[in-house]
């Protein structure tokens, strides 16, 4: 099946700093990617839709200035958590869909803000 | 977007079939039913999807009722590695966009 890769898989950062998470589709082009976050023992929550070459679409309640999304190419989307705080600690997951097939998910990034 | 309802947890004996139900009574005519699973601390893994007809692949079978208001995922011979949270999702939006809204899922525990 198609492969979606995230980097890094784990990151620890200090409060107030920014962290960038990369999501790559390794064997297909993705005009649209999606970003989710997941708190412990909870389900995945859709944060935003990343569109290649245009602005991301954020779900209600998600701060677009805090979670910056860039989709500069057909194989790469990045999520930058700006001025991170401990409450931003979570499991961040991306997904991408190859044309007319199912969505494939990355392995996730565990962010810990200390 | 159609909402789905799943039991929060289920147990299954190793080697037996696991039947995971899902209700999606408000599903619209062009919405697919997708099943994913998530093993602890990993990204969700695609299992199977369908629209109207029953589907089978190397992982599972999907049985969709004629009125499309419910479906059942069948793992024919569950193993310990099938222990995971299983999500039944109806696709948001139109045209197979890949935008998936997750519910709480069913935690399947396969026991020896």
Q: pLDDT digit string (tens) for A11-48?
A: 999 999 999 999 999 989 988 999 999 999 999 999 99
Beta carbons of B98 and A34 less than 8 Å apart = yes
Chain B residues near residue A60 by CB distance under 8 angstroms: none
Whether the CB-CB separation of A21 and A8 falls below 8 Å is answered with yes
The confidence score (pLDDT) of residue A2 equals: 67
- A10 CA to centre of own chain: 13
Average pLDDT, chain A: 93
Distance from CA of B82 to the nearest CA of A (A): 17
Q: pLDDT digit string (tens) for B26-71?
A: 998 888 899 999 998 899 999 999 999 999 999 999 999 999 999 9
Mean pLDDT score, B67-95: 90
Given a cut of 80, whether residue B78 has pLDDT beyond it is: yes
Beta carbons of A100 and B45 less than 8 Å apart = no
The confidence score (pLDDT) of residue A108 equals: 97
Q: pLDDT digit string (tens) for A50-103?
A: 988 889 999 999 999 999 999 989 999 999 999 999 999 999 999 998 776 788
Distance from CA of B99 to the nearest CA of A (A): 7
Q: Is B41 on the interface with A (CB under 8 A)?
A: yes
Q: How far apart are the first and last CA of chain B?
A: 38
């Amino acid at each position: 099946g198609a492969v979606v890769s995230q980097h890094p898989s784990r990151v620890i950062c200090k409060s107030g700093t920014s962290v960038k998470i990369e999501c790559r589709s390794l064997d297909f082009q993705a005009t649209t990617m999606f970003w989710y976050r997941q708190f412990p023992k909870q389900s995945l929550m859709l944060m935003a839709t990343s569109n290649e070459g245009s602005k991301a679409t954020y779900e209600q309640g998600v701060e677009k200035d805090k979670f910056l999304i860039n989709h500069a190419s057909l194989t790469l989307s990045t999520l930058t958590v700006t001025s991170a705080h401990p409450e931003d600690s979570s499991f961040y997951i991306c997904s991408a869909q190859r044309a007319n097939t199912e969505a494939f998910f990355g392995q996730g990034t565990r962010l810990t803000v200390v | 977007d159609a909402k789905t309802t799943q039991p929060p947890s289920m147990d299954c004996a190793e080697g037996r079939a696991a039947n995971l139900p899902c209700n999606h009574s408000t599903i619209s005519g062009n919405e697919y039913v997708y099943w994913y699973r998530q093993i602890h601390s990993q990204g969700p893994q695609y299992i199977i999807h369908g629209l109207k007809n029953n589907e089978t692949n190397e992982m599972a079978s999907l049985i969709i009722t004629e009125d499309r208001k419910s479906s059942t995922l069948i793992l024919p011979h569950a193993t310990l590695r099938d222990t995971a949270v299983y999500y039944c999702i109806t696709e948001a939006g139109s045209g197979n966009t890949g935008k998936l809204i997750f519910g709480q899922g069913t935690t399947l525990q396969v026991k020896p």
